Amino acid sequence: MPPLALDDLYRLAVPGDPQLRPDGGAVAYTLTTADRDSDEPVTEIWLAAPGAEPRRLAKGIAPRWSPDGGTLAFLRPVDGAPQIHLLPMDGGEPVQLTQAKLGAGIPVWSPDGTRIAYGGPHGTVDPNAPVVVDTLEYKADGAGLLREITTHLFVVPVGGGETLQLTEGDFHAGQPTWSPDGRQLAFTASLDSDRDLVIGGEVYAVEATGSEPKRLTGPEVICIGAWWLGDRLVIAGLKGGPEGHTRLFTLEGDRLAELETGLDRNVMMGAPGYPGATPQLLGGDLVFAARDGGCSHLYRLPGVASGQAEKIVGGERVVAGASVAAGRIAYVAATPESAGEVYLDGLALTSYALPDVELFVPRRRTFTAPDGTQVEGFILRDENLTEPGPLLLDVHGGPHNAWAPVFDGVHLYHQVLAARGWTVLMINPRASDGYGEAFYTATKGAWGISDQDDFLAPLDRLVAEGIADPDRLAITGYSYGGYMTCWLTSHTGRFKAAIPGGIVSDLHSMVGTSDLGYFMKKHECAGDLQAQSPITFVDQVTTPTLILHGENDDRCPVGQAEQWFEALRERQVPVRLVRYPGGSHLFILNGRPSHRHHYNERILAWLEQWVSGSPS
């Protein structure tokens, strides 16, 4: 079979957001593909069941079952704004339920199935009005300038009627969760006036008929998610500050009690680029996701009480969504052979792996940094190779993300390079997720300083083993990976080509321009910003550099790329800047397919030009 080609981007189908029907007999899920004609990602809702071929239900996202399983609520755009629709499962077309001016959020059914709650944007938007801000909380990557828009909670009757707004004010309400009796909704929010300066979050409750929000938790935990599971309110939060692992708590009276799991691992609730699943009840036990060794796995905690969590979905898999009902569990997971499949009690209900493509499988390796720290990595290469060859070091983002040994439908150039005789090295350096909290927080205030040898030592090892040719080394990375690409090329001349994407080059200017800049200054990079900034050492760079950046990136603003480009050009280092119109920080995950294809294509061309010797 042939190896993967970049055009296979348009054949990939990636499932997500699995929702198990209340009787446990079928799974609704989303399926995302890249449409070449419209140059847009397309997401549809499908249904899979044992013994049947998956079938398409509707175009949309966020499928959610009614308590009786007879209706599927989901989101579909109407005039550019997402609205909740209801699909009767006994036949018929979807019916629009909401008519929210700025759109609705993910539907959350009431326990009796008569109402749906959602969080949605509220306010007025005049794109031509001056933007007046008093706090740092005025923009967000992917959304841009927030203007006067805040997120609040609404309840709409399923049978029709007036939509009731439950919250209002200058704050953002998190995803709602119904109390078992259907009388209240809980949500997370920070109502403090200085919330842009002091990171916080509490759990609030509001009556389903409307009332002032009542605060349920105090400042000892930064609450970032809450779910009523049975008669228990389970909360995800950060204890002691915003830098460490996410943990699980329950509300007992007026205090939070931590649910000890016996794991030194980070709870993963699921977000773009950070796969996981929300906590749920399986029988009387708590099911949750946590990252272990780069993979997101599912665990069961008996009795929703402190104890030793048991891993129930593990191995070389990355879980990206789970749902429980009727004593069964459905989940989506990526494997070394597939970017994602839908499973029910461990049985695959789908087959989205490309059947006519031979994939190279990442292999785990452990390396030792000079200070004795063990760092894990993954090597992708043709195992039939016997001579030293070119090697690409790829650095993940975060830095609190992690590479995993599964098929990567985003970084397609990995497979193409392996087919061309390259070795791709993916290291999980200190600060990566899945190796304990001390490892997770090890680079605080010391970006580049404490972690650079975690990359250089593995390179030395692979050169010594005869795997990598020391004269044909290259480096790339995105976000933090873009930062580290700039950092390493300003501290060593051993790389023949560099491709930083979504970069950070100057932490000083980053602080005042990024939507998370103040957080970076106070917490992640607390300390000497100049000493941690690649721009401080740019006069030492000689590596030919290709910079790839989204034009509308508010996380790592495009000015970071402009600064690096200008500095290298002034010093006459071979450099090229590619900007992607409309691209947010996550455009390489969910942006225009043509941009994602071009991103991969540019990397391959730059490596061919500067490492393999072919003209660009």
**What pLDDT digit, counting tens, does each position of 541-595 carry?**
999 999 999 999 999 999 999 999 999 999 999 999 999 999 999 999 999 999 9
For residue 399, whether the previous peptide bond is cis, meaning omega lies within 30 degrees of 0, is yes
CA pair distance 464, 368, nearest whole angstrom: 14
Indicate whether 410 belongs to any domain. Answer: yes
pLDDT beneath 70: ranges in the chain:
613-616
Question: Exposed/middle/buried for 202, CB within 10 Å: 0-12, 13-18, 19+?
Answer: buried
What is the b/e burial string over 270-300, where b = at least 16 CB atoms within 10 angstroms of the residue's CB? Answer: beebbbbbbbbbbeebbbbbbbbbbbbbbbb
Residue with tokens 């040994």: 405
CA pair distance 502, 485, nearest whole angstrom: 11
Tokens of 407: 């098929």
Indicate whether 23 belongs to any domain. Answer: no
Edge to edge, what strands does the sheet with 202-207 contain? 177-178, 184-189, 202-207, 214-215
From 241, 258, 275, give the residue that closes a domain. Answer: 258
Indicate whether 554 belongs to any domain. Answer: yes
Tokens of 408: 């990567």
Going by C-beta distance under 8 Å and a sequence separation of 6 or more, which residues neighbour residue 161? none
From 205, 223, 258, give the residue that closes a domain. Answer: 258
**What is the pLDDT, as a whole number, of residue 469?**
97
Q: Is 367 found in the same domain as 227?
A: no
**What is the pLDDT, as a whole number, of residue 146?**
87
Indicate whether 547 belongs to any domain. Answer: yes
Q: Quick count: other Cβ atoms within 10 Å of Cβ 59?
A: 14
**Number of domains into which the chain is organized:** 2
Indicate whether 72 belongs to any domain. Answer: no
Q: Is 534 found in the same domain as 386?
A: yes
Residue type, 478: Y
**What is the pLDDT, as a whole number, of residue 615?**
44
Residue type, 150: T
Q: Is 254 found in the same domain as 374?
A: no
Tokens of 193: 């006036």
Tokens of 63: 């499928």
- Domain harbouring 505, CATH code: 3.40.50.1820
First to last CA, the chain: 28
Give the orientation angle of helix 480-489 with respect to helix 453-464, to 10 degrees. 70
CA pair distance 47, 44, nearest whole angstrom: 10
CA pair distance 281, 290, nearest whole angstrom: 16
Total count of residues recorded for the chain: 616
**What is the pLDDT, as a whole number, of residue 616?**
42
Q: Is 372 found in the same domain as 239?
A: no
CA 529 to chain centre: 26
- Under DSSP, the state recorded for 590 is H
Q: Quick count: other Cβ atoms within 10 Å of Cβ 302?
A: 14
Q: Is 367 found in the same domain as 245?
A: no
Residues 9, 597 contacting (CB under 8 angstroms): yes
Q: Is 393 found in the same domain as 247?
A: no
From 258, 277, 300, give the residue that closes a domain. Answer: 258
- Domain harbouring 181, CATH code: 2.120.10.30
Residues 374-405: pLDDT tens digits? 999 999 999 999 999 999 999 999 999 999 99
Indicate whether 148 belongs to any domain. Answer: yes
CA pair distance 538, 571, nearest whole angstrom: 9
Residues 26, 383 contacting (CB under 8 angstroms): no
CA pair distance 34, 544, nearest whole angstrom: 32
Indicate whether 74 belongs to any domain. Answer: no
**Which 3 state secondary structure label does DSSP give 206?**
strand
> pTM for the complete prediction?
0.96
- Catalogue the long-range contacts made by 35-42 (C-beta closer than 8 Å, 24 or more residues apart): 35/10, 35/593, 36/10, 36/593, 39/592, 39/593, 39/594, 40/592, 40/593, 41/590, 41/591, 41/593
Range of the domain at 586: 363-612
The whole-chain average pLDDT of the chain stands at: 95
Indicate whether 210 belongs to any domain. Answer: yes
**What is the pLDDT, as a whole number, of residue 613?**
66
DSSP letter for each residue of 522-576: IIIT-S-TTTT-GGGGGGG--S-EEEEEETT-SSS-HHHHHHHHHHHHHTT--EE
